């Protein structure tokens, strides 16, 4: 016996079929189920690949944007005076304290904080001008 959908009545009915036909129908159901599983597996793999590709493209784009920003920042720093560049180098690249940096360039440590703030503001203004 095989359960089939009767489109005329809109119900499932049991139909007596030969054993060979019943086995063949069950095999075709099984093949259809396998195809569906494979199809959904491939869809998932494909969507994962798309996500990876998009994240790679986004990563490349982010890196390009960062490079452009670094280039503009580099140009802004180039416009500073030699003394200001020296302060930036000591504080941010040589990891010197503000007190030791102030001693090297010959100013008080209290003025050093204001001077560094002035330099950073100057860099920010130049960066904004160059990025327009």
> Nearest Cα to 21, choosing from 2, 40, 47, 44?
2
Q: Are 101 and 91 in contact (CB under 8 A)?
A: yes
**pLDDT tens string 20-30:** 777 777 777 77
Is 72 or 1 the better-scoring residue by pLDDT? Answer: 72
- Residue 22, CB-side half-sphere exposure with 13 Å CA sphere: 9
Q: Is 7 helix (H, G, I), strand (E, B) or coil?
A: coil
Rounded to two decimals, what is the model's pTM?
0.55
Q: Say yes or no to pLDDT of 111 above 90.
A: yes
Q: Say yes or no to pLDDT of 5 above 80.
A: no
Q: Is the dihedral of CA 62, 64, 66, 72 positive or negative?
A: negative
In angstroms, the CA 89 to CA 87 distance is: 5
Domains and CATH numbers, the chain: 79-132 (1.10.10)
């Amino acid at each position: 016996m095989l359960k089939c959908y009767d489109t005329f009545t809109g119900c499932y009915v049991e139909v007596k079929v030969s054993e060979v036909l019943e086995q063949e129908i069950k095999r075709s159901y099984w093949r259809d189920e396998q195809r569906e599983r494979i199809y959904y597996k491939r869809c998932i793999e494909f969507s994962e690949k798309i996500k990876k590709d998009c994240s790679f493209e986004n990563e490349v784009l982010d890196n390009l944007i960062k490079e452009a920003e670094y280039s503009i920042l580099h140009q802004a720093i180039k416009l500073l005076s030699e003394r200001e560049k020296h302060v930036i180098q000591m504080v941010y690249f040589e990891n010197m304290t503000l007190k030791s940096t102030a001693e090297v360039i010959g100013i008080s440590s209290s003025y050093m904080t204001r001077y560094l703030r002035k330099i950073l503001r100057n860099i920010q203004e130049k960066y904004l001008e160059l990025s327009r």
